Amino acid sequence: MVQNVAPLLAEMEQEDFYLLSGIEQGMRVAEWVDRRELPKLSGLTPEAVTYRLDRCAKRDLISRKTIQYEGYTLTAEGYDTLALHTFAERETITGMGAPLGVGKESDVYEVESFRPMALKLHREGYTNFREVLRERDYTATNRHVSWLYTARKAAEREYAMLRRLYPGVSVPRPVDHNRHAIIMSKFEGVPLSRARLEPGQVAGVFDLICAEVERMIAAGVIHNDLSEYNIAVGTTGVTIFDWPQALELDHANARDRLERDIGNVVRYLQRKYPRTAPAVDPAELATELLR
């Protein structure tokens, strides 16, 4: 958990980060980095590597495995440490807050900055690596793909998409990005899955969602994972979040994915609010929005 990592930053030394960065670099080509490569990768002497390995292992920032050789890999906490250290050096964040949401593919925390912000840590590939390899197109052409790579690429894609869409589409404001982590504004409201809409609100909320989808299309983007879990409903409108799987409008599957996105929302509303949910054909609405 990143909350366990944050207090460690004050007791970490610069050479510890050299070692963690060296292991990170080695993981670009191997899941377990040969200890014999670490002096070259980290810029530390063999004696310093031994000392830093012990310090980082005691803090659960790295794991050790003996295969044909003695190998080391970063834990999720070790990767979190590198990202938090970079944000602290940039003075993007000054402190950690409470969890805002913890899921299979990401963890989100409140952080202190020039105002309260959200820190999103991508976890794609850390626990469901094979599934991610199948589903994510940015892993398809790489001979060696580590969970660090999939999580970093997901964060890169999401941050780039937020910068592209904000403020024309109602998405969190992007603030900073490093490795698998994004700093963004906190959004108002709760996920649609947890909202309790009054009968007279259902159609209006659906119209607000459709308006944002129309703005996405105008920006040349399909969300590609839209559902009740990544639409926030608040007093000032709706916010669309979770963008790492977004597609360009000219993608071969964009039309089908748009229909699927709309269908996810329509089916959810019809299931939860059967008397007041809109009677919409997702295929027809997708066609209309794409005109």
Are 159 and 181 a contacting pair, CB within 8 Å? no
Q: What are the residue ranges of helices labelled H in the chain?
A: 2-5, 14-26, 38-42, 46-58, 76-90, 129-135, 147-165, 202-218, 254-272, 282-289
**For the stretch 245-261, what's the b/e string if a residue is b when 16 or more beta carbons lie within 10 angstroms of its beta carbon?**
bbbeeeeeebeebbbbb
Question: Nearest CA to 275 among 208, 201, 199?
Answer: 199
At residue 104's C-alpha, the angle toward residues 101 and 106, to 5°, is 55
Q: Taking every pair of C-alpha atoms in the chain, what is the biggest distance, in angstroms?
A: 71
d(CA 70, CA 196): 54
- 137 classed as catalytic: no
Distance CA 273, CA 128 (A): 33
Q: In sequence order, what are the beta bridge partners of 65?
A: 71
Which position among 16, 107, 225, 242 bears the catalytic label?
225
For the annotated catalytic residues, the residue numbers are 225
